[in-house]
Every structure is written in C-alpha cells, then in structure tokens.
C-alpha cells in the first residue's frame, strides 16, 4: 500500500483530503432538495413485492380465447373463480392479491406459463411480474389438443396501481390497471 504522507508530505496529503471532502459535501449540497412540501419533487416509488405460484394449469375451464389478466383482491371474487373446485387455496386478502394470467386458447400442447421470479419490481406505480411464455418449437411433436394455459400468482400488496406482465425476453405481454 502506498504511504502518500511519506511521498508527498503531510501538508499536501491533508490539502488533498480537504479538497476531496469539500467537493463531496459541496456536491451533496448542490443536489439537495428543499424540504418545503410545495417545492419538493414527487418521489418515484421503487421496490419489490413478493410473488409465488398458487396454481398453474394447461386447461383453463373458464378461459378466454386471447391472452388476458385479472386482479383478484377479495375472497368473494376468489371463491367465484373456483365454483367447480371444492377447495380453492387459502389467501389472506388483507396482505395479498391474486393475479390470474391466461395465455388464451392454443391449438396444441407445448404451451405454458411459469413464474420466473419470487419478486416483482415496483417502479413508479407499476409492478412488473416476470412470467415465462412457453411455446412449442416450430416443427416439434405436440399433443393435438386445444389447451388454454393459466397461472395464478400470489402477489404481496404494495404501492402499485398497475401490473405489467413481461415475458422471458422482457416484452410486455399484458398490462392491467387496478
């Protein structure tokens, strides 16, 4: 390690440190925002919310012909989604909501949806939920059956009022205002 004091002398090193400290604190003062609420900029909210898969299926009995998303924020709507199911998964709707993502009707097997992360980034007022959109490779052998993949994602409630569903390539597949 270099001993700058021995090489340049204590006065030069001290002056250099003072200049560096002054430049750093001056930069902080220059970028400081006034504390007055009238003139303070609106802070952009950033962070994450927790995600987990509740259920994934290749046949969605109540499915839509095209890709779609639905936000479920209460137990009444949740139970309505499972009219044919004896026991829907338990959800604490005080802390979580459920994002239902439907891929839409597909002509063969080989399609599917899978959650790619256990967190969604929140930037501004938008939560970005990463989901893999699997499609069969061209020319691949698939089952000859109509499928309708769906994914139920448990989403921690947070400071967002819009959800963007993005695929494995970062393309926005669906946008859902809440």
Overall number of domains in the chain: 2
Using the predicted structure, report yes or no on whether residue 42 has a pLDDT greater than 80.
no
Report pLDDT for 45.
Answer: 60
Using the predicted structure, report yes or no on whether residue 17 has a pLDDT greater than 80.
no
Examine the domain organization and report whether 78 and 109 are in the same domain.
Answer: yes
Full domain range(s) for residue 164: 46-177
Q: What is the mean pLDDT of the chain?
A: 79
Using the predicted structure, report yes or no on whether residue 27 has a pLDDT greater than 50.
no
Secondary structure string (H, E, C) spanning the chain: CCCHHHHHCHHHHHHHHHHHHHHHHHHHHHHCCCCCCCCCCCCCCEEEEEEEEEEEECCCCCCCCCCEEEEECCHHHHHHHCCCCCCCCCCCCCCEEEEEEECCCECCCCCEEEECCCEEEEECCEEEEEEEEECCCCCCCCCCCCECCEEEEEEECCCCCEEEEECCCCCEEEEEEC
What are 49's strand-pairing partners?
Answer: 120
Using the predicted structure, report yes or no on whether residue 43 has a pLDDT greater than 70.
no
Residue 154: inside a domain, yes or no? yes
Using the predicted structure, report yes or no on whether residue 5 has a pLDDT greater than 80.
no
82 pLDDT band (50/70/90 cuts)?
A: confident
Examine the domain organization and report whether 107 and 167 are in the same domain.
Answer: yes
Examine the domain organization and report whether 2 and 51 are in the same domain.
Answer: no
Decide: pTM greater than 0.85.
Answer: no
> Cα separations (Å) of 118 from 56, 83, 153, 155?
15, 28, 10, 9
Cα angle: 120, vertex 94, 104; to 5 degrees = 50
* pLDDT tens sequence across 57-69: 988 777 779 999 9
Examine the domain organization and report whether 153 and 71 are in the same domain.
Answer: yes
- Of the ranges 58-72, 97-111, 117-131, 159-173, which one carries the lowest mean pLDDT score? 58-72
Examine the domain organization and report whether 10 and 54 are in the same domain.
Answer: no
Using the predicted structure, report yes or no on whether residue 178 has a pLDDT greater than 80.
yes
Residue 14: inside a domain, yes or no? yes
Tokens of 150: 């769906």
């Amino acid at each position: 390690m270099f001993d700058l004091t021995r090489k340049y002398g204590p006065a030069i090193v001290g002056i250099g440190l003072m200049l560096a400290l002054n430049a750093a604190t001056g930069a902080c003062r220059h970028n400081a925002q006034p504390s007055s609420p009238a003139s303070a900029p609106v802070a952009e909210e950033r962070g994450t919310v927790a995600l987990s898969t509740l259920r994934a299926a290749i046949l969605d009995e109540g499915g839509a012909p095209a890709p779609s998303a639905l936000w479920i924020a209460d137990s009444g709507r949740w139970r309505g989604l499972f009219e044919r199911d004896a026991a829907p998964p338990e959800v604490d709707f005080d802390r979580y909501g459920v994002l239902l993502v439907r891929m839409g009707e597909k002509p063969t097997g080989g399609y599917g949806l899978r959650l790619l992360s256990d967190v969604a980034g929140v930037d501004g007022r938008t939560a970005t939920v990463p989901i893999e959109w699997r499609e069969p490779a061209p020319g691949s052998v698939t089952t000859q059956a109509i499928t309708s993949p769906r994914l139920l994602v448990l989403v921690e409630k947070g400071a967002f009022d819009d959800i963007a569903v993005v695929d494995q390539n970062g393309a926005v597949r669906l946008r859902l205002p809440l």
